[in-house]
Structure 1
Amino acid sequence: MDVVSLLTTILLLLIPIGADDMGCDVELAVWRSNGAGRIPVNVESFGAVGDGIADDTQAFVSAWKKACSLNDAVFLVPEQRRYKVNATRFKGPCQDKLIIQLSGTIVAPEEPDHWDPKNPRVWLVFSNLQGIRIQGGGVIDGSGSKWWASSCKLNKTNPCRGAPTALTIDSSSKVRVKGLTIQSAQQMHFTIFRSKTIRVSGVRVKSPPDSPNTDGIHISESSDVSIHNCKIGTGDDCISIVNASSNIVMKQIECGPGHGIRHQQ
């Protein structure tokens, strides 16, 4: 990191986050207490098994289509369950005030050879959305160990190939992400791409220090992004900011293991 980038990063860390960045706390509390008149769309109502073995991809796709079509819907992933889901794109636009309540665990297929060949670089993608909230104490688990073992960074005899990013917010605005754990990503954990006004708080990222290319939060071509009170441990950059991203605010970030914060125009 050059001196200019380092100073820019320090300045970003010193910018305070306003009260608006914490507004999703109220929404989460209201949903847990009485539902706030919202319409729950439970993935298990669409056939999800939640045993970590059965392929629940189609159930998630069907539940998403329903939730996306309703005002004040909650796309509900129940707690104490493990849902195996292959590469999936959760596309908008959707109706107003959609909440994704991730209380359980979404787990990726373990075998790279079982990956959807049509989506080699992504796993869970939320795109073309406005005003949604992704929240809850759930886990996104990329099952990355076999991907890491096949990386040319760990073994020069392996062919170099890309791997999926666990969670992507793409071409979206006014999105809040709160309270999730993202772990063992195949490659990057969480990417914010071509988006604006994104609020991330209370997110935990966990991968071993020798996991290759596992950036924690990667921001590209995006603006007005705040990251608050997050704990990140990875085998690469904790946070990376690239491709003319602007107005990035960070506060109370715990980084380690990892390569720190990288800012590159």
Structure 2
Amino acid sequence: MALADHPLAPAPSPSVNHHRAVPTPAPSQSVGHHGTVPTPAPGPSVNHHGTIPASAASPSVDHHGTVPAPSPSLNVLAPSPSPSINHHGIVPAPSPSPSVNHHGAVPAPSPSPSPSISHHGNVSAPAPSPSVVHHRTVPTPAPSPSVDHHGPGPAPTPQGGIFDVEDYGAVGDGKTDSTTAFSSAWEEACSHPGESAVFIPAGTFFVGHLILQGPCHKGESPKVDIQGTLRAPRRFISSKTMNWIVFRNLRGVNITGKIETAILDGQGEETWGEICRKHSRCNGIPSTLKFNNVSGGTINNMALLNSKGFHIGLYRSNNIHVYNVNITAPGDSPNTDGIHVSHSKNISISSSRIGVGDDCVSIGPGSNNITVTDIECGPGHGISVGSLGKNDHEENVAMIKISNCKISGTQNGARVKTWPGSSRSIASSIVFEDIIMDNVSNPIIIDQEYCPSGTCKTHKPSQVKISNLLFKNISGTYTSKYAVSLLCSRAVACENISLFNIDLSSNSSETARTGGLNIEGSIESLEIFNSDF
């Protein structure tokens, strides 16, 4: 039955325009959806979030600021106030107040009175309300408790998505253990629904083993802004702790700082003395900073010093740019490579100063499309592709370019090194170009008998195939017996080795008498053009 035909339908009311007060109609009753007559009762309207504004009833205001006389009965412009029900079906306690929408404005008019209905179909009773023009806001109500859609939420988010480790209990006194605080700040930033950053202020923070992992909210990772010093324990309790700070399973990690104050101090001196120098090799020594399965990101504007092992390790990562970093350790500190890359692709290392006790940069198995440019290297063991072939079934290496570097006072310069007795793999398309050598031993070297421990299976030749290797525009001075040493495998020949525009002079009169080239093993196609060494 239509509402107009219902026996209890209200009497018609006069038509009213939006800018005039409503004449008082004859009293009538409101009819519910199912033909029942609800009992009118005044009640407050509640916004969508369940907050009940506490305020006295007030007259409405039209567009021009005049206050119409209140109507005691049906209003054709405004909905009837009633106990409103929030999204979750909770009915707040009633108190008289004008009806207000999300933004505090008076709701638009409705053609006839009707009961208020929640999102879940519950019907509340209508009640008369004053006429209100819907373009004006209601006077500010008295404060009332706010209710959230989903109940109690997390702790307030730091302003601007910045998560300061000191807010989580970190203390920059150099001795208080701040590991838990750093982890907590990372977890909050990682789950933040928007751009976020972990902020490490000035100070010296003692931090133990950290794993900062994802995935984070919508797959995007927080930025890490370092303005202070992070100091590692002198020794780790667990011998299984292979790295100090690990970023794992993330996308878009950007670690930056202020190079004068942003320092990662590995405190490796004790490790070098107690472990490495008492054994032939430093196996299982923690790296300072490790990227593991990270796609997209940067490391820049910071200093790393005295790592127990490698300073920066990039493993199974893609599209990483490392630049403007300063890495230092004593020239005799064992196995302290500056930056080591393995099983990664599309890696760029540039504009950095590296002086350590091992390779300034080392490029290991499974590396593809790696560029190293504008590096000052020394002390150390030079810039190396390798070592390769230490383990069985290693992945191939290809598309490596090292250029525009200066190498000073190192044990080697531009080097490719593989272990004897290795399984088969390939290292190809490698370029060393535009490099200056300053008092370097072995400025150009292929070493397929690499055996730092002296306990290798040297009677078994390396099975790593080296091909398409170019040395170009390399100049400077050297201190070793030979400027160029090509020590290739006896079983798998080096192939397509080219030396263009090599200009190296010895600082030793004895070296000048013996000559500058040494070749061992097997080589297929060796080209030397416009060179003097």
Q: Same fold (TM over 0.5)?
A: yes
**CA–CA separation in structure 1 for the residues paired with 2:268 and 2:314:** 20
The correspondence of residues 174-193 of structure 1 with structure 2, limited to 5 A, is 174-193=296-315
* Aligned equivalent of 1:242: 364
Q: Name the structure 2 match of 1:73.
A: 196
The CA distance in 2 between the partners of 1:119 and 1:195, in whole Å, is 22
Name the % identity.
Answer: 38
Cα distance change of structure 1 residues 119 and 103 upon mapping to structure 2, 3 Å threshold: farther
Unaligned stretches of 5+ in structure 2? 1-158, 387-396, 398-533
Distance 1:207 1:39, change over 3 A: same
Structure 2 counterpart of 1:72, which letter?
A: E
Q: Which position in structure 2 is the counterpart of 1:233?
A: 355
Shift of residue 59, structure 1, vs aligned partner? 0.6
Greater Rg by CA:
2
1:120 is displaced (CA, Å) by 2.1
What is residue 136 of structure 1 aligned with on the other side?
A: 257
- d(CA) in 2 for partners of 1:125, 1:92: 11
The answer on 1:149 being equivalent to 2:273 is: yes
Match of 1:172 among 291, 294, 298: 294
Question: Comparing both structures, which one devotes a greater share of its residues to helix?
Answer: 1
- Tell me how far apart the structure 1 counterparts of residues 304 and 282 of structure 2 sit (CA, whole Å): 24
Aligned runs of 1:244-259 on 2, under 5 Å?
Answer: 244-259=366-381
Q: Does the 8 Å contact 1:67/1:98 carry over to 2?
A: yes
Q: Distance in 1 between matches of 2:375 and 2:369?
A: 17
What SS class does the counterpart of residue 251 from structure 2 fall into?
Answer: coil
- Does the CA-based 8 Å contact 1:100-1:134 persist in structure 2? yes
Distance 1:182 1:159 in 2: 22
* Alpha-carbon contact 1:87-1:116 (below 8 Å) kept: no
CA-atom RMSD in angstroms: 1.7
Identify which of 76, 80, 90 aligns with 2:212.
90
Distance 1:120 1:148 in 2: 16
Higher RCO (CA-CA < 8 Å; seq separation 6+): 1
Contact 1:87–1:119 (Cα < 8 Å) also in 2: no
Consecutive aligned runs of 4 or more in structure 1 exceeding 6 Å deviation: none
Does the 8 Å CA contact 2:214/2:221 hold for their aligned counterparts? no
Distance across 2 between alignment mates of 1:40 and 1:240: 35
Match of 2:68 in 1: none
1:42 aligns with 164
1:136 alignment partner AA: G
Look up the equivalent residue of 1:89 and give its one-letter code: I
**Structure 1: how far apart are the matches of 2:352 and 2:346?**
17
TM-score of the two chains, using structure 2 as the length reference: 0.41
SS in 1 for 2:186: helix
Instruction: Indicate the residue corresponding to 2:384 in structure 1.
Output: 262
The answer for the alignment partner of 1:24 in structure 2 is none
2:338 maps to 1:216: yes
Letter of the 2:263 partner, please give it.
V
The residue aligned with 1:163 is 285
2:215 partner SS: coil
Given the two structures, how large is their TM-score scaled by the length of structure 1? 0.80
Say which SS state the counterpart of residue 308 (structure 2) adopts. Answer: coil
Aligned partners of 1:151 and 1:161 also within 8 Å: no
CA deviation after TM superposition for structure 1 residue 151, in Å: 2.6
Q: Deviations over 1:161-192 (max 9, x none)?
A: 52110000110111111111111101110000
Contact 1:141-1:183 within 8 A present in 2 as well: yes
> Which residue identity lines up with residue 224 of structure 2 in the other structure?
I
Please report how far the alpha carbon of residue 160 of structure 1 lies from its aligned counterpart in structure 2 after TM superposition: 6.0
Paired residues of 1:190 and 1:216 also in contact (CA < 8 A): yes
Give the residue type in structure 2 aligned to 1:178. Answer: N
| Whole-angstrom distance in 1 between the partners of 2:239 and 2:359 | 27
Equivalent residue letter for 1:75: V
Whole-Å separation in 1 of the counterparts to 2:200 and 2:274: 31
- Closer, same or farther in 2 for the Cα pair 1:193/1:46, shift >3 Å? same
Question: What is the deviation of 1:119?
Answer: 4.3
Structure 1 position 201 matched with structure 2 position 323: yes
Work out the CA distance in 2 between the residues paired with 1:118 and 1:128.
23
Q: Distance in 2 between matches of 1:231 and 1:60?
A: 28
- How far does the alpha carbon of each residue in 1:220-244 deviate from its partner, in whole angstroms, 9 at most, with x for none? 1000000110100000000000112
CA distance in 2 between counterparts of 1:244 and 1:194 reads 9
- In structure 2, the CA distance between the partners of 1:119 and 1:126, relative to structure 1 (3 Å rule), is farther
Deviation, 1:50, is 1.2
Match of 1:103 in 2: 227
2:221, 2:250 within 8 Å by CA — same for their partners in 1? no
